[in-house]
Structure 1
Amino acid sequence: METKVLDIKGKEKGTCALPDSLFAVKANPTFLHEVITAFLANQRSGTADVKTRSEVSGTGKKPWKQKGTGRARQGSLRAVQFRHGGIAFGPTPRSFRQDLPAAKRRTALAMALSTKLAEGNLVVLESLTLKEPKTKAFAEIMDVLAAGRKPLVMDNFADANAALACRNVAGLTHIAPQDANAYVVLNSSKVILTTDAVAKLSDTFAKEAK
């Protein structure tokens, strides 16, 4: 499979070969849902915590005697029904981690990249270089490429000016190709790859993706 290669001004500069194992894989929504759900679960810190009645500060004395007051019987002011009492059934620190085989993650990435290519939302650039590290200059490149509100740029950014300029572009995500995953690809409005990034993706994932 081949696709056009553009320069930063949007002009065609040639073609680039794309490995079928990464860019011609039929998407399976159920499979992608499983992988992306696991990815998002693994981003959770799981540190939410509340104090139970055994942990809140306060007296352990019985508020009033058991019988004869006309009020409901109570054993502690730290019980959940009282102000400043403990919390019942609240969250405690836990791990949300879901382990997935590496082969599943690679296959999901291939499905995501193939989907973006089929939609026409994947662009290959000859290179990403700037004369100055200006955010405005990088944003103009995104406008030329019609990158949308949430572009994803995959490149190792050998050019220091481009690496600095992309940091403040609103909505833009930039990652190294070897760190790519299905979620960031599908969550983007357009995927922008350099030819170097395509080569790195191929070396890292193409041989093992199915």
Structure 2
Amino acid sequence: MKTDVINLDAGAAGSIELADEVFGLDPRADILQRVVRWQLAKRQAGTHKTLSRGETHYSTKKIVRQKGSGGARHGDRGVTIFRGGGTAKGPVVRSHAHNLQKKVRALGLRHALSAKAQAGELIVLDAATLESGKTKDLKTAMEKLGIGKALVIDGAAVDAGFARAARNIQGLDVLPSRGANVYDILRRDRLVLTTAAVAALEERLK
């Protein structure tokens, strides 16, 4: 599929042929859901923890005598029914990550790129460079292009001035081509690729 290439000044900069194997697939929601779920599960901290019965520090002395007090027959204060006692079957520190085949992850990235291309939410820039490094200049350029919340993916490395200017713009993320992932692509309204990013992604996913 063929698409136009523009520059940061919203001027025409030619056209580019996008590979159908990467940008021309029919997006499948089930594949995208699997990859997004894998990504979010992997990033989940899993540091939740409560003390079990054996980890509480109380005297194991019997609270009251077995008979004659008129109250219930209790042992030590570390049991689960008392405040401050151990928790029965509580959460423990663990990893929430699960395995997902490499071919499914790569397929998910292809489907995410194809979804943006088919929805008309894909923009191709000739280059994402900004010599001034000023947020004001980049914000003006984004407004001229009609871009609000977007993910910008560059080639092997991101231009330092562009990255510095984008840091203070809410809803604008910048990644190198190696960091392209399904979750970040889907969560933004627009996907902006440089020509270097297109070449890198096609080489990676073909």
Normalising by structure 1, report the TM-score: 0.91
Segments of structure 2 that go 5 or more residues without pairing to the other structure are none
Tell me by how many angstroms 1:48 deviates. Answer: 1.4
- The alpha carbon displacement at 1:146 in A equals 2.2
Q: Runs of 5+ in structure 1 lacking a partner?
A: none
Q: Is the 8 A contact 2:7 2:13 kept in 1?
A: yes
For 1:161, the equivalent position in structure 2 comes to 161
Give the structure 2 partner of residue 200 of structure 1. 200
After superposition, the C-alpha distances for 1:79-137 in whole angstroms (9 at most, x for unaligned) are: 12212212222210112111111111111111111111111111000111223111222
Displacement of 1:172 after TM fit? 1.7
- Alignment check: 8 A CA contact 2:158 2:176 kept: no
**How is 1:18-97 mapped onto 2 (pairs within 5 angstroms)?**
18-97=18-97
Distance 1:36 1:67 in 2: 59
Letter paired with 2:45: S
Task: Find the aligned partners of 2:55 and 2:71 in 1 and give their Cα distance.
Answer: 26
Letter in 2 for 1:92: V
Distance 1:196 1:112 in 2: 18
When structure 1 is superposed on structure 2, of 164-173 and 111-120 the one drifting more is 164-173
1:143 positional shift: 1.9
Matched, 1:9 2:40: no
Partner of 1:140: 140
Identity %: 37
Q: Counterparts of 2:40 and 2:103 in 1: how far apart (Å)? A: 18
Instruction: Summarize the Cα distance change of 1:158–1:70 in structure 2 as closer, same or farther, 3 Å threshold.
Output: closer
Kept in 2: contact 1:105–1:181 (CA 8 A)? no
Distance in 2 between residues matched to 1:34 and 1:182, nearest whole Å? 10
Distance 1:158 1:104 in 2: 27
CA distance in 1, matches of 2:139, 2:58: 57
**Residues 1:187 and 2:171 aligned together:** no
- Which portions of structure 1, spanning 4 or more consecutive aligned residues, are displaced by more than 6 angstroms? none
Encode CA deviations 1:19-73: one digit per residue, 9 max, x unaligned: 1111011111122212211111111122211111211222111111122222111
Query: How far did 1:158 drift?
Result: 5.1
Q: For 1:168-183, what aligned pairs fall within 5 Å after superposition?
A: 168-183=168-183
Say what the alpha-carbon RMSD is for the aligned residues: 1.5
- Supply the distance in 2 between the matched residues of 1:49 and 1:144 (Cα, whole angstroms): 50
Answer yes or no: is the 8 Å Cα contact 1:32–1:108 preserved in 2. Answer: yes
Q: Is the 2:31–2:107 contact (alpha carbons within 8 Å) kept by the matching residues of 1?
A: no
Match for 2:89: what amino acid?
Answer: F
Equivalent AA in structure 2 for residue 196 of structure 1:
A
Q: Could you tell me the TM-score, scaled by structure 2's length?
A: 0.93
Aligned length: 205
